């Protein structure tokens, strides 16, 4: 039976509706993981370090898609909840076109700043050249990357999360197959890994455009629209937290890389790269659940169904708690096998990575609550609170911790800083959820 946004959502129905979004985000996260695996095992440790070094910069440029997807999705869902289907379609088209235009501009900007930015972050010599070789190819696909992230959110808003999953799985399989072909068979090195990822992003960004541009069975259709500056501002402010979270996370990753170069050299950066790959996949579970529930929350907020809002908040926190425990247990059990998968060829690097993994895994006990809390307020169209949670979590707390903790605990302090930042973010989220409970009646 098809699930409607207007339905009453039990635990079972919540998981059924959000599972496609969860799997979709996990598959998207696999892109970087697959690149890292093939580069590390078939090209070498220095190119692998380069991919990890430049990846945060590329993420900053692509994350505009999350802003348009989450912010626009919340506004579109609220508009549908108010019974204005025609306006919802117009807003959908406006958001998609704005995302594409932003992607083109960001691609051009990235090509201009790639080399000086990598150099300013400390890359030099062979590391710098590898960063540029990999980054230039990825940057050509940034418009598609932006659209892919955007549609991952908008498929759920359109009532087609399963279709969004199919598109993302197709793009992910294309990435894995092309990586194996270009890197392992043709031996094209870094350029092959970059080309595989870029082509898979084109699949993930272009296929949804063709689907929504034609008559379809979803709630939304891509077509004519009119410029609405107020709606775009609302979209950007709604999605500012997700944009800020992605940008801040990438900036902090650059800071982590700089600290690791100082305290542990290139091996530290490589170990951190493994942690980030695993973290991307594990946290995609929390992000996917939050993306999947956002249109449901936005719809019932627009329809003023306060009882349903209370149920969604309560059940979602329970689901996140179960996911958190599962992610922590999995990380503890799989620390050595996953580390060996990437860096098993270097015993010293392997031990450093496993030690980091055991400490870092405690962050999964906390991160899901802050991620959901930020998304919850975005769905309620309160971009300010959502942005504050994300800003504190991904920039302020982590920056302070990664600068201070290594002075006390050395390299282990760098891994501990992530755990401390996530725990503080949960405390901030709890305060906002309690303080605004009467205003939104959830």
Model confidence at 365, pLDDT cuts 50, 70, 90, reads very high
Cα separation, 156 vs 168, whole angstroms = 13
pLDDT number for residue 31: 64
Residues with Cβ within 8 Å of residue 28, at least 6 apart in sequence: 148, 149, 152, 168, 171, 172, 204, 284
- Considering the entire predicted model, what is its pTM? 0.72
Integer-rounded Cα Rg, in Å, for the chain is: 21
pLDDT number for residue 76: 94
Model confidence at 86, pLDDT cuts 50, 70, 90, reads very high
**pLDDT over 80 at 84, yes or no:** yes
Cα separation, 305 vs 319, whole angstroms = 21
| Helix residue ranges per DSSP H, 63-141 | 64-66, 72-81, 85-120, 125-140
Cα separation, 56 vs 74, whole angstroms = 26
pLDDT in tens, 182-197: 999 999 999 999 999 9
Model confidence at 342, pLDDT cuts 50, 70, 90, reads confident
Average pLDDT over all residues of the chain: 89
């Amino acid at each position: 039976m098809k699930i409607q946004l207007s339905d009453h959502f039990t635990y079972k129905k919540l998981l059924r509706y959000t599972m496609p979004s969860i799997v979709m985000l996990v598959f998207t996260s696999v892109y970087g993981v697959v690149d890292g695996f093939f580069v590390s095992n078939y090209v070498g440790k220095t190119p692998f370090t380069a991919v990890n070094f430049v990846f945060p910069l590329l993420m900053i440029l692509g994350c505009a898609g999350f802003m348009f997807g989450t912010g626009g999705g919340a506004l579109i869902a609220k508009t549908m909840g108010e019974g204005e289907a025609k306006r919802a379609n117009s807003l959908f088209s406006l958001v998609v076109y704005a995302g594409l235009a932003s992607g083109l501009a960001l691609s051009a900007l990235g090509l201009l700043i790639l080399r000086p930015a990598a150099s300013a972050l400390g890359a030099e010599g062979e590391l710098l050249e590898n960063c540029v070789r990999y980054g230039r190819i990825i940057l050509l696909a940034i418009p598609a990357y932006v659209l892919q992230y955007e549609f991952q959110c908008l498929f759920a808003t359109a009532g087609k999360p399963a279709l969004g999953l199919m598109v993302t799985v197709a793009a992910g399989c294309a990435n894995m197959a092309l990586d194996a072909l270009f890197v392992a068979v043709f031996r094209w090195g870094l350029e092959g890994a970059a080309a595989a990822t870029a082509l898979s992003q084109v699949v993930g960004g272009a296929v949804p455009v063709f689907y929504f541009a034609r008559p379809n069975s979803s709630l939304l259709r891509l077509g004519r629209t009119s410029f609405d500056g107020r709606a775009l501002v609302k979209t950007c402010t709604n999605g500012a937290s997700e944009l800020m979270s992605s940008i801040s996370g990438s900036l902090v990753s650059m800071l982590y890389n700089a600290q690791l170069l100082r305290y542990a050299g290139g091996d530290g950066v490589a170990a951190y790269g493994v942690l980030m790959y695993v973290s991307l996949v594990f946290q995609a579970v929390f992000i996917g659940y939050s993306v999947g529930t956002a249109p449901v929350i936005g719809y019932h907020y627009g329809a003023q169904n306060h009882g349903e809002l209370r149920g969604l908040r309560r059940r979602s926190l329970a689901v996140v708690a179960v996911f958190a425990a599962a992610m922590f247990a999995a990380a503890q059990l799989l620390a050595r096998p996953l580390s060996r998968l990437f860096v098993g060829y270097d015993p010293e690097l392997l031990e450093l990575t496993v030690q980091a993994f055991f400490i870092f895994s405690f962050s999964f006990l906390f991160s899901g609550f802050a991620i959901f809390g930020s998304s919850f307020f975005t769905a309620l169209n309160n971009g300010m609170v959502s942005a504050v949670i994300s800003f504190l979590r991904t920039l302020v707390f982590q920056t302070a911790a990664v600068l201070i903790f290594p002075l006390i605990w050395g390299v282990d302090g760098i891994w501990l800083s992530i755990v401390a930042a996530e725990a503080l973010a949960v405390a901030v989220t709890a305060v906002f959820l309690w303080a605004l409970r009467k205003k939104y009646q959830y």
